[in-house]
Structure 1
């Protein structure tokens, strides 16, 4: 955006001066509420009823003389707390990093040039540039404005936008000021910062901004309820085990301690923490792929998404417009060259034409309009041209430069008096310019809109009436160009001899056809969407035929799917739109308010909708969508605020990658739920079956806690780091109401839990009988069987569809390492004399290990072989 404020001092601060002021006054930030300290996070790990009961029992144990047991149990509790602390602290740091990534930016003038900086680096005295959709980064005095309106509802509660104007000399005139946190809803401005951070109006009511909502995902809520049910079930079972043992004559205190220890081991208290960590780590992976997820519930919803409504320009296409065709009333030119290079020729009937030396031609007038009815510009920086502004406008500058018309020369010769900005209703932009001789209105915009305002046509420099037949021919030419995937813009002008600046009685000049080629990676992403059961939908303001041509090229539209325009949408009732919306793949010539209707219709039809947006008017649709997606480069602050996810590269392919990652995260959550619950059921059943069969207690409290420490933490975390399975994007989208235990997961959990418990009891009984009731040896074998059963099972949990033999053991090295650590812990307490005394274990010989391996690994091996043979 280049503003017309030549008489103002627009050099701004120097970088050096800005740095001094930043060091002196601090960052432009509102002080947030205090973060939870590390100590509080650590102490919160002990804030659990079961843990307190265990601590109390341990204290009693110490008083009764079992000091070694008491110390060891306390040590295990502390180790568990440390693991929980690491998980929670890592989550806090991950979320904190994400908040920093989503920090707003601002356009400022430093050293005479416009740059984009972190809004926190703005200082008093900075010149900031703002336009429709921008969030005001600091309190500022307006020194230049054009059609400026600002939404101050965050400060005043008034929903109506307030008109603003440049400084009038009255220091207390609030219409001359804009305030931090408010939103520019119309026009543009240059303003000088007068207050930052806590000294702003927003800073004075900072408490309004500190109630940041913390989201819990629906999955986390469901798992919390599941955890509550499991607590009740485990407490009942543990109570039965305790009472049964006492009735059999076991020591009351010992059985109480066993019951409490079993409850601690059986209840998956780490499940919510692992879910949170898994989500946070997944979000971090998405960031590396240019998708910034602002709200954790979006991660779950991504896996359910079955419609992606995407803007065309910049998302499906490269957003680098290049003019390819110019059509005047009686002449056509092909334009060579690509991108933003100033190299290219004008070809008429196969002959290269010199445009520069024919200044009175209609073509020359069209190029002049393209230069002056334009807010984009370029600078020569570091041996190359750097462009700023809208790609369509940049392409018009490049077009004129190819003809030899200099942007800087024309903008110094013609002075802009006024701009009538483009809006989505008029679909036109006009400027009033003057030179030493005359005053002109120059207009560009959508062909239909411009033609409505034209009564005359410029033919070879002669102005003639624009009759119905000529209009029909122009529209036919527009359709012809649009059908070849060219975006078409019309140009018009008039000479002004009064102060009436209405867009009427214009003189039509010609058409320009430009192309914004599709991104190379989009075709594969669209095909991937279709394979995954996701319907891609294009939404664009372009002509129907242009949109259709691009959509066909990237396979968004099939022969049996429809294209609907904004005008056709206006004629449809909501009910009619819903009835056939699943047959529509392209919406053309739409306005932002149409997006809201489109989202509502798809949702009413039962789809889970992702919707992209960038402008202010896109915010309602983005917020209404199941997954609102804002553009990180072109998107306004308002849209980013409403969105659940921000595309940092504005690329459609990134949406597909985010959906893939969302599916992976959900898959991994199911995997460690399967692992944790089946293992915990196995632990409970081991104790419960032994009690029912009137066997000696197979595991003492310290051994139960050790199982919990060795198997529940690291392996479960490693499962959350599993990569995508090969078929992840060929499955149908998950139903959002689907239970986390769907597709027989509960059966798998119960089945394997029962087998783990039965095998552990069998190994215990066999050792008791074989080795003359050597209870210490039997418990060591049971302990080893229980732990190894879980460590073997964790590899099975890597996939619900494929055998570990298909996946490969070493494809998740995090899991391999975590299992090795757990196994080393087991070996340590069996063979290190000091630890033997603490954990009541004894060394195992070869025959013992054979029994342990048979009981713990045989089922996993058989299961893996069966699945491998099935090709799963």
Structure 2
């Protein structure tokens, strides 16, 4: 291969044989061995994202925030005042907190990167003469591959066969009008204008083609442009903005409190300035939410990983918050609410119906059937319908690579069902396709809802085969095949056909119509050049043949998922291209709506004003026979009503609605590359139940953030209470807790249990609550009251009692409270230990907001208990290791003190369980 010295224009001018020789390939594609060699030579077919901030700069930024600078200055002042140990400790806090933040961000980035790897794009290639599906990352120059409407072009490539293809090249050219493509050379005007060349990063909007890859990865034109723009900028999500606001607010409050206490210490207690500053610094440190932002980031990352295990891949961590706010889901029917496993159970022909029995299945790359269900040769009409079903069909079956693998259907479930139908009738697809090869194709699109193929006939003429939705097929048919004879279609025929369709639709079944037209060799009604045949020229004066009736059963798990949504006050609006009767039947069957639901068709929607539509979407409604373009208007209208909308989609035309929705959800199995690129979330199983699971997880993540916030804030009150007591007794009660000991709580004992709360499972009843309003704040009145007025106040009382408990055991009130020495150190140690044991109870209590902790399993969160074990071990080290005793002003505790401490969490836990029980009873009465 000598591709590097040749331009795309050079490749465009070559004939196919020259091109194949130049690229070392053939119509049968590369061999597996050659593809492997080229993958090593050229690397993976990926576009490298912009350079991230260097690890060093990313590390250093964690030490330059407002609070970090405050702590650097405070440590310096402490050293200057002669308290070197305290200054070093404060700087150590800064260092450890910065390192912790960096580690958290790094862990979150790794989680995000791992999720990106779980979003592969596939491409259908020909290797060793066989069609197969591979990861687009493994595409190499010289590969022969197929592309169709909805695909993102995976590489710069030369087109060899083209059928009605148009490509959106706006990503490269900025031109929004799709460009028509052909297999012959025509340069056109401007850059990227070769008509037979397609470029990586562009999108197929219609048609199909076969192409040969010219360049991949960073060697593509798109890759070259990407290499020039390496800086990625991310905007803060609403949640990040709120957290930044919250951090600033708490920091400012802490500083203001510190200033007030600094002034009072000087003028009220008559402390020296240096000691007053250290005293105020203790108050500031007590109110700083250390580790809030990085811990939140990691919590979001853990949430996305849990969602991934439930088949919902989030492309951005920020989308987690929006999931918890979702109030409306605009959902497709086929494949999302249903299994997308079409099975044909009837073939309807004028005056007769064939029941199709038995189960077809895919085995070793071929469609198998147990017994021939009917003999198509005995019925000319049936034979014609089966021939259309077989030839007007792009679905293929990829044989498994190994005996452990399963065959893969390359195509749609509907066409796979047609393949199974024809196999049941004894037809061999390869044989029939060889006898009647495809001369031209007019691909399916969502506007006409039809697909047409053209084939040769034995007499030198051509036959046009069309399949599609019934309403569109009747509009182009003016004749009907009846008993092997063609006659004019009457109004009675149309009524009979529509009646049959409505009868099946009412049962939740789907009809697919078939028609044909034969054109003689000398006919002037169709251009002789097959590639020049237009839709209007082909799809007219058709002969209607019949219907296949197929069932797509609801997913088994959809019933519970729908019930969850109803309990959670999340409305589901079905938006489908299926008939009104079929849509309503399925919706009622799965409990989505009542039998009184309003069904609005696409035609009706076009006639509705915006105000009428706004009223309609507020109630029970289904949209049927709508085009994907209608979704954008439906989503926009719901948003105009104040709803937070999640919308599903899989096609090219779904992309605008997916981008418009608050959460765009693309199908990972059947979705096009365009839909996946536009979406915020991708379902790896195309299952509606996975959407509901993701919403539940989104609510859980937000709830866990509030639990984490409650936990870290509630210790602020008992940390500040000793200073308040010292201040208001004008120093008569020596400071029950030193600054070093406050740092111990904030930095050491609190951190791991707080992280454990970020990984808490869903609380029972979380889907029985209405969606969280977008105006809701992370730090709400309930958290403030519980943190400062309940948990914090109780812990303050207990820690203060613990301080006086030690003094009582050592002769107080008969003697004055010790302000230094062993008794004082033991008393401050007891205060510190009491706060830690109050935090043990808080960690357990914070696991649920209303439900009993027993309902989720008191030992189910191992991270919480490992965190508790760590803080008790750390406390023991501070109390009994001599070096740490001197550093943190601690002293050993006796048996009676430990009994006092161990008992603390038990009544706190039981009292909180009682409070939650009373709250649940109150809610139940309401």
TM-score band (shorter)?
A: over 0.9
Q: Cα gap change, 1:258/1:855 in structure 2, threshold over 3 Å: closer, same or farther?
A: farther
Q: Could you say which residue in structure 1 is the equivalent of 2:39? A: 22
Q: Could you say which residue in structure 2 is the equivalent of 1:757? A: 796
Shift of 1:213: 4.6
Q: Could you say which residue in structure 1 is the equivalent of 2:256? A: 236
Q: Could you say which residue in structure 2 is the equivalent of 1:370? A: 389
In the alignment, the residues of structure 2 paired with residue 208 and residue 299 of structure 1 have an alpha-carbon distance, to the nearest angstrom, of: 32
SS of match in other structure, 2:766: coil
Q: Cα gap change, 1:103/1:744 in structure 2, threshold over 3 Å: closer, same or farther?
A: same
Matches within 5 A, 1:348-359: 353-355=374-376, 357-358=377-378
Q: Cα gap change, 1:113/1:258 in structure 2, threshold over 3 Å: closer, same or farther?
A: farther
Q: Cα gap change, 1:318/1:862 in structure 2, threshold over 3 Å: closer, same or farther?
A: closer
Shift of 1:343: 2.5
CA contact (8 A) 2:753 2:868 kept: yes
Q: TM-score, normalised by structure 2?
A: 0.88
Are 2:324 and 1:288 aligned?
no
Are 2:430 and 1:408 aligned?
yes
Q: Cα gap change, 1:419/1:777 in structure 2, threshold over 3 Å: closer, same or farther?
A: same
Are 2:420 and 1:398 aligned?
yes
In the alignment, the residues of structure 1 paired with residue 483 and residue 506 of structure 2 have an alpha-carbon distance, to the nearest angstrom, of: 27
Alignment equivalent of 2:128, drawn from 111, 123, 131: 111
In the alignment, the residues of structure 2 paired with residue 685 and residue 768 of structure 1 have an alpha-carbon distance, to the nearest angstrom, of: 18
Matches within 5 A, 1:222-621: 222-247=242-267, 248-340=269-361, 342-343=368-369, 353-355=374-376, 357-358=377-378, 361-381=380-400, 386-437=408-459, 438-497=461-520, 498=523, 499-500=526-527, 501-621=537-657
Shift of 1:64: 6.5
Alignment equivalent of 2:892, drawn from 843, 853, 867: 843
Deviates most, 819-828 or 558-567: 558-567
Q: Could you say which residue in structure 2 is the equivalent of 1:349? A: none
Q: Cα gap change, 1:188/1:782 in structure 2, threshold over 3 Å: closer, same or farther?
A: same
What are the Cα deviations for residues 414-453 of structure 1, in whole angstroms up to 9, with x where unaligned? 1212111122221221111103323101111111211111
In the alignment, the residues of structure 1 paired with residue 855 and residue 462 of structure 2 have an alpha-carbon distance, to the nearest angstrom, of: 76
Q: Cα gap change, 1:485/1:208 in structure 2, threshold over 3 Å: closer, same or farther?
A: farther
Shift of 1:380: 4.5
Q: Cα gap change, 1:576/1:871 in structure 2, threshold over 3 Å: closer, same or farther?
A: closer
In the alignment, the residues of structure 2 paired with residue 748 and residue 60 of structure 1 have an alpha-carbon distance, to the nearest angstrom, of: 35
CA contact (8 A) 1:13 1:125 kept: yes
CA contact (8 A) 1:445 1:490 kept: yes
In the alignment, the residues of structure 2 paired with residue 353 and residue 787 of structure 1 have an alpha-carbon distance, to the nearest angstrom, of: 78
Q: Cα gap change, 1:271/1:569 in structure 2, threshold over 3 Å: closer, same or farther?
A: same
CA contact (8 A) 2:502 2:581 kept: yes
SS of match in other structure, 2:337: coil
**Residues matched between the structures, number:** 861
Shift of 1:542: 1.4
Shift of 1:27: 2.2
In the alignment, the residues of structure 2 paired with residue 14 and residue 817 of structure 1 have an alpha-carbon distance, to the nearest angstrom, of: 54
Q: Could you say which residue in structure 2 is the equivalent of 1:730? A: 768
Any unmatched runs of 5+ in structure 2?
A: 1-14, 21-25, 363-367, 528-536, 922-926
Are 2:739 and 1:701 aligned?
yes
Matches within 5 A, 1:735-754: 735-742=773-780, 744-751=782-789, 752-754=791-793
Shift of 1:258: 3.8
SS of match in other structure, 1:729: helix
Are 2:843 and 1:826 aligned?
no
Q: Cα gap change, 1:65/1:238 in structure 2, threshold over 3 Å: closer, same or farther?
A: closer
CA contact (8 A) 1:675 1:749 kept: yes
What are the Cα deviations for residues 221-279 of structure 1, in whole angstroms up to 9, with x where unaligned? 11211211111111111122233333424343233234334423421131111111111
Alignment equivalent of 1:712, drawn from 747, 750, 767: 750
Deviates most, 218-227 or 240-249: 240-249
CA contact (8 A) 2:327 2:571 kept: yes
CA contact (8 A) 1:321 1:339 kept: no
Deviates most, 380-389 or 293-302: 380-389
Q: Cα gap change, 1:856/1:423 in structure 2, threshold over 3 Å: closer, same or farther?
A: closer
In the alignment, the residues of structure 1 paired with residue 256 and residue 407 of structure 2 have an alpha-carbon distance, to the nearest angstrom, of: 74
SS of match in other structure, 1:148: strand
SS of match in other structure, 1:279: helix
Deviates most, 531-540 or 380-389: 380-389
SS of match in other structure, 1:154: helix
In the alignment, the residues of structure 2 paired with residue 169 and residue 798 of structure 1 have an alpha-carbon distance, to the nearest angstrom, of: 67
What are the Cα deviations for residues 302-340 of structure 1, in whole angstroms up to 9, with x where unaligned? 112122221111111121211111111222111112353
Deviates most, 163-172 or 704-713: 163-172
Deviates most, 816-825 or 749-758: 749-758
CA contact (8 A) 1:291 1:658 kept: yes
Q: Cα gap change, 1:203/1:613 in structure 2, threshold over 3 Å: closer, same or farther?
A: same
Q: Could you say which residue in structure 2 is the equivalent of 1:201? A: 221
CA contact (8 A) 2:837 2:904 kept: no
In the alignment, the residues of structure 1 paired with residue 772 and residue 836 of structure 2 have an alpha-carbon distance, to the nearest angstrom, of: 34
CA contact (8 A) 2:112 2:317 kept: no
Deviates most, 167-176 or 365-374: 167-176
CA contact (8 A) 1:609 1:627 kept: yes
What are the Cα deviations for residues 707-748 of structure 1, in whole angstroms up to 9, with x where unaligned? 111233111111011111111122222222222244622211
Shift of 1:604: 2.4
CA contact (8 A) 1:139 1:193 kept: yes
SS of match in other structure, 1:275: helix
CA contact (8 A) 1:562 1:586 kept: yes
CA contact (8 A) 1:125 1:192 kept: yes
Q: Could you say which residue in structure 1 is the equivalent of 2:23? A: none
SS of match in other structure, 1:612: strand
What are the Cα deviations for residues 91-117 of structure 1, in whole angstroms up to 9, with x where unaligned? 111112122223433332222233333
CA contact (8 A) 1:690 1:761 kept: no
Q: Cα gap change, 1:51/1:697 in structure 2, threshold over 3 Å: closer, same or farther?
A: farther
In the alignment, the residues of structure 2 paired with residue 369 and residue 77 of structure 1 have an alpha-carbon distance, to the nearest angstrom, of: 74
